[in-house]
A = this chain, B = another copy of it.
């Protein structure tokens, strides 16, 4: 099969890789319908994380080709959406809703779903079948559920976005935009998008942002305070992951408020005393997308939500390198790769 390999920072190639097969009886092998490039794939691309001849990709939708003997909830021919983290969905941690910390957790990035096929371990606990074969226009939305939508949803939920709440979203990338969509759906009263890009501001408003703040860092915090009677937002989503954006998010949260954060790079260090005196709740980490998948699929199927708009460039898998470049140069928010 064909698949993406990142040879080194900036050097993305599509080449022949070995076809996956069933190894464990809980595995499934799927033929991908679509996959995509994640903001986090840019970290190795930019040399912020190591890149050394590694397979890439952790977002995926596709059709089941084969399942192991112990797989019971999905079968060959099913159209499935899966989380970017493998989970058994039966352990104590999964049952508490934190599938991304499952005792059998494994990052799909290690499997590399920017490819024609993928072996998915713990298929019952990781994949969710859609009610049938989706209309073509639903495929991008379902693909978004695999990570960016699920992650944005978790972030908004972690920030306890809901009725009566003012929610500030730091970051206007795909995850930030999805957090806005989620906050709106969860009933937030006011949603402040922190964004400098006119195109993304437009999409932010489409998804439910009521206010736009263009300032960053301390100025961004001051602006959020201004908009919230000096108190800060009840709920803040951090969807960038740099030192500045993280501390901006801490500063924008009111005392006793909730910060949900869904990505930090390796350079972020949080001054303990600053977090302490902020007096806030935090919840973060790789999102337990599997918890939300059944509901997200239902809402996409019913056309209640339209997360697919975050994809603003579509390319065939063979042209993945162009996709990386477009996202790196911020010419695209998120690139969908067709198969």
Interface residues of A (CB under 8 A from B): 92-93, 96-98, 100-101, 103, 229-231, 243, 246, 254-256, 261, 263-273, 275-286, 288
Contact = CB atoms under 8 A, between A and B. Distances in A.
Contacts of A263: 276
B282 A231 contact: no
Nearest to A285: B279
A92 B277 contact: no
Contact of A231 (B93, B266, B271, B279): B93
Given A101-B279, A279-B100, A269 B270 contact: yes
A267 B229 CA distance: 32
Contacts of A280: 283, 285
Contact of A276 (B261, B272, B279): B261
A280 B270 CA distance: 15
Given A282-B281, A285-B255, A269 B272 contact: yes
A154 to B, nearest CB: 10
A233 to B, nearest CB: 12
A230 B103 contact: yes
A268 B275 CA distance: 10
Contacts of A230: 103
A35 to B, nearest CB: 24
Give the copy number.
2
A280 B285 CA distance: 7
A275 B284 contact: yes
A267 B103 CA distance: 33
A18 to B, nearest CB: 30
- A93, A230, A231, A255: most-surrounded residue (chain B CB, <10 A): A255
Given A231-B92, A246-B272, A270-B269, A256 B97 contact: yes
A278 B285 contact: yes
B273 A284 contact: no
Contacts of A282: 275, 281-283
Which 3 A-B residue pairs are closest in the complex by CB-CB distance?
A: A101-B255, A268-B272, A98-B256
A169 B275 CA distance: 20
A282 B101 CA distance: 16
Contacts of A286: 276-277, 279
B93 A256 contact: yes
Nearest to A93: B255
Contacts of A288: 256
Contact of A271 (B261, B269, B277, B281): B269
B272 A98 contact: no
A98 B278 CA distance: 11
Contacts of A268: 271-273
A251 to B, nearest CB: 13
A256 B158 CA distance: 11
Contacts of A101: 254-256, 279
A271 B243 CA distance: 11
Contacts of A278: 285
A286 B275 CA distance: 11
Contact of A100 (B98, B255, B266, B273): B255
Contact of A254 (B93, B254, B255): B93
A281 B269 CA distance: 18
Nearest to A228: B92
